[in-house]
Structure 1
Amino acid sequence: MNDAELLSVILRTGSQGENSLSLAKRLLLQFGSLSAILNASLHELQAFKGIGVSKWSQLQVIHELAQRTYIEKLKEQDVLSSSELVKNYLISLIGHKEHEVFVCLYLDVHLKLISSQEIFRGSVSQTTVHIREIAKECLLRNASHLIIAHNHPSGDLSPSLADIELTKSLYQALALMDVQLLDHCIVSKQGGISFSELRIMANIG
């Protein structure tokens, strides 16, 4: 079953004069991928002929199921062996948001996910990210490792100077309490990048 056929099953019905498979193919042509469709906002999908609140709700259910599946897997295996899974989860979680969101993934000593949390909203360069608050949350969850992430609604995944400076400051602060900052991921609808991939973390640590 290809992506269009799978999507047509989820949609169940088409629109006036169009079956579900044809509608699914048009959606994929417009948005580019299943992930982009599932992450699209109600406003974006309602602007597409054949999609209303009902079909958007169906897609949201699938989106929520996908997120819960990611969480289950991240709680079962260490994140260092699951970097693509982490990235896909973050894209699913915040990649579609139209404003910047800053999230933390709290990990145990085995590098398995304890929980994820949205900490702040707003640009890292415009909003002070409270390092003390993040440190407190790590203690509350007994987290020994941390991954931070935020989205770039513009789609440009390049880290800013503010992104890098924040990562350095947070790494140093958490090291004092024996919590290791493993990575900083930047995501959008189209994809994601991590500071480890860019070798920024190696220079920080």
Structure 2
Amino acid sequence: MTENQLLVKTTIHELPEEIRPRERLIAHGAQSLTSYELLAIILRTGNRNLNAIQLAMKILQQFGTQYDLRTASFHDLIQVAGVGPAKAVEIQAAIEFGRRLYQTNQEKQGVIMSTKDAGDYCIEKLKDLQQENVFAIYLNTKNQIIKEKIIFIGTLNSSVAHPREIFKEGVRCSAARIIVAHNHPSGNPSPSQADIEFTKRLAESGDLIGIEVLDHIIVGDDNFLSLQELGIF
């Protein structure tokens, strides 16, 4: 049975899971869906005569091009049989939200140009904490800060500190480089053997993933130590 034949069924729930739009998005990502499948998810339901996929196809066919749909007014939308005021509002809201997302630039939170910049920034974030915190700064290719995050709290050892948690965020925000830092509540920023081993593993992981590790900063009271400057990696 072809996909087109399956689409004659009354409801989405009667379709096999592998061709339901929501299930396909979860399994394969939004990029894998056709325009009518994406529109069907926005519509959520069809009407008495058409399921959501059939209604989405009808809307796209009636407007002819996606540009014509993007510029359609509320009045234009409700002229399509099966599209009432509620669905017209949903479509227009989705289109406007997509337009705003497209026009949004990634927020920048400063720039790191030197080891001192990195150290001073990390001191400000970590110096007064009573527990060890592992902190990551995510940078673009111009060393602009695009995200920062406390990755975990607790003693830095192999049981809790794993590069995947740090790089997962880096991949998510499309970082080109990262700086990792953690504090020593004792006030002494000298690295432990666990600090050194973690740094080497982090740098090796970054090389494999393609996100450069610029430094690992250890923060004491009002001072810091750069493991990159110590030649640890």
Same fold (TM over 0.5): yes
Paired-residue identity, %: 35
Which one-letter code corresponds to 1:167 in the other structure? T
Structure 2 Cα separation of the partners of residues 83 and 172 of structure 1: 20
Compare CA radii of gyration and give the structure with the larger one. 2
- RMSD, aligned α-carbons: 1.9
Q: How does 1:59-98 map to 2 (within 5 A)?
A: 75=110, 77=111, 79=112, 81-98=113-130
Q: How does 1:32-181 map to 2 (within 5 A)?
A: 75=110, 77=111, 79=112, 81-125=113-157, 127-181=159-213
Structure 2 Cα separation of the partners of residues 111 and 84 of structure 1: 14
Residue 199 of structure 1 and its aligned partner are, at CA, apart by 2.2
Structure 2 Cα separation of the partners of residues 131 and 118 of structure 1: 13
Q: Is the 8 A contact 1:96 1:188 kept in 2?
A: no
Decide which of 203, 214, 220 is 1:182's aligned counterpart. Answer: 214
1:197 corresponds to 2:229: yes
Structure 1 Cα separation of the partners of residues 215 and 153 of structure 2: 19
Structure 2 residue matching 1:176: 3-state secondary structure: helix
Q: CA-to-partner distance for each residue in 1:99-125, whole Å, 9 max, x for gaps?
A: 100000001011211111000000103
Residue 126 of structure 1 and its aligned partner are, at CA, apart by 7.0
Structure 2 residue matching 1:97: 3-state secondary structure: coil
Residue 176 of structure 1 and its aligned partner are, at CA, apart by 1.1
Structure 2 Cα separation of the partners of residues 153 and 126 of structure 1: 19
Structure 2 Cα separation of the partners of residues 190 and 90 of structure 1: 10
Aligned length: 127
Distance 1:168 1:120, change over 3 A: same
TM-score between the two structures when normalised by the length of structure 2: 0.51
Structure 2 residue matching 1:186: 3-state secondary structure: strand
Structure 2 Cα separation of the partners of residues 178 and 188 of structure 1: 30
TM-score between the two structures when normalised by the length of structure 1: 0.58
Which one-letter code corresponds to 2:191 in the other structure? P
Q: CA-to-partner distance for each residue in 1:54-91, whole Å, 9 max, x for gaps?
A: xxxxxxxxxxxxxxxxx97x62x4x2x33222211211
Which one-letter code corresponds to 2:124 in the other structure? S
Structure 1 Cα separation of the partners of residues 161 and 115 of structure 2: 24
Q: Is the 8 A contact 1:150 1:185 kept in 2?
A: yes
Can you give the 5+ residue segments of structure 2 that lack an aligned partner in the other structure?
1-106
Bigger relative CO (Cα 8 Å, ≥ 6 apart): 1
